[in-house]
Amino acid sequence: MNAALWGLLSALSFGSADFLARFTSRGIGPRRALFGILIVSAVVLTLYMAATGWPALAAVDRLWLIALHGLALTLAMLLLYWGLARGPVNVVASLVATHPALIVAWALLLGHRPDPLQWAGLAAALLGAVVVAWSAESVSSQPHRLHKTVAIALATSAAYAANVVLAQAAVPIYGSLVTLWLGRLVALAALGPLFLLRREAPSLPFRWWPLLILQGGLDAGGMLFLLLGSGGRDSAVAAVVASGFGAVTVLLAWRFLKEPMSWRQWLGVALVFGGAAILTA
């Protein structure tokens, strides 16, 4: 299978997992939903590593990078699930997809100078985000509620950008699979203090487990498909195609939740994901 197909499978898996998060987060709350899918995805990744062979863990003194990556992942996913539970899903997914623009902005601070194509991608993603938010506000019957959703989505984008930057720093040392696996375990452990602080038991009703298992399996599948597509010389193609997972979430919300989409919103979505694809490449 070529890299583009692996990337497509990754996008479909991640996008579907985020769509399901709308229901689990509303049903049992973002913290419990995240706790459930992290358990499932950690089990799937552990079984995959056991089947393919345990890699040696080198440079133990740099594990703080993975710890920070896991904490950023926890924050990003909690905010994402909170935003998806509030809705509209198309606004949240589109704004979160701007996180590659923030990664480029961070690179700028470190002295990197983007080429003209990257500048175009950055401009397209940011313009698309403005169009999406403005178009949704123009048709919203609850503008104050929408303002809070937009703020949550933008905070999620920033947390995802931090998560990716930290993961990129850890991957050359530990490898992609170990970084993802340990990051999930750190995120799972980080939820414990949150439950204690809120005096909330991390109980998961049995009737929600089938959906959580499906969501967690899709989340883990998205990571594994991307890894499988990143082994050859066309790895950039897999990453670009996989970066469209938010578009999958938007389309699922439009089709099954009947979320209205004006032509301006479609234009904004196209700009965001087109710009994100350029920046990912």
Q: What is the pLDDT of residue 143?
A: 67
Could you tell me if residue 174 is left (phi over 0), alpha (psi between -120 and 50 degrees) or otherwise beta?
Answer: alpha
Residue 262 confidence (pLDDT) above 60: yes
Q: What is the pLDDT of residue 50?
A: 86
Mean pLDDT score, 232-238? 63
Residue 212 confidence (pLDDT) above 90: yes
Mean pLDDT score, 241-265? 86
- The count of domains in the chain is 1
In this prediction the pTM is 0.89
Q: What is the pLDDT of residue 277?
A: 79
SS3 for 187-234 is: HHHHHHHHHHHCCCCCCCCHHHHHHHHHHHHHHHHHHHHHHHCCCCCC
pLDDT band at 71 (very low <50, low <70, confident <90, very high): very high
DSSP assignment letter at 232:
S
Q: What is the pLDDT of residue 40?
A: 94
Q: What is the pLDDT of residue 261?
A: 83
Residue 166 confidence (pLDDT) above 60: yes
Mean pLDDT score, 250-267? 87
Q: Which residue has the higher pLDDT, 118 or 16?
A: 16
CA–CA distance, 216 with 211 (Å, rounded to integer): 8
- Please, which residues have CB within 8 angstroms of residue 247's CB and are 6 or more apart in sequence? 11, 15, 93, 97, 269, 273
Q: Select from 194, 183, 250, 204 the least CA-distant residue to 79.
A: 194
Residue 4 confidence (pLDDT) above 80: no
Residue 78 confidence (pLDDT) above 90: yes
Residue 139 confidence (pLDDT) above 60: no
Q: What is the pLDDT of residue 130?
A: 82
pLDDT band at 124 (very low <50, low <70, confident <90, very high): confident
Mean pLDDT score, 221-243? 74
Enclosing domain of residue 20: 3-280
Mean pLDDT score, 9-34? 93
Q: What is the pLDDT of residue 242?
A: 77
Tell me: the pLDDT tens digits for 179-191?
Answer: 889 999 999 999 9
Residue 140 confidence (pLDDT) above 80: no
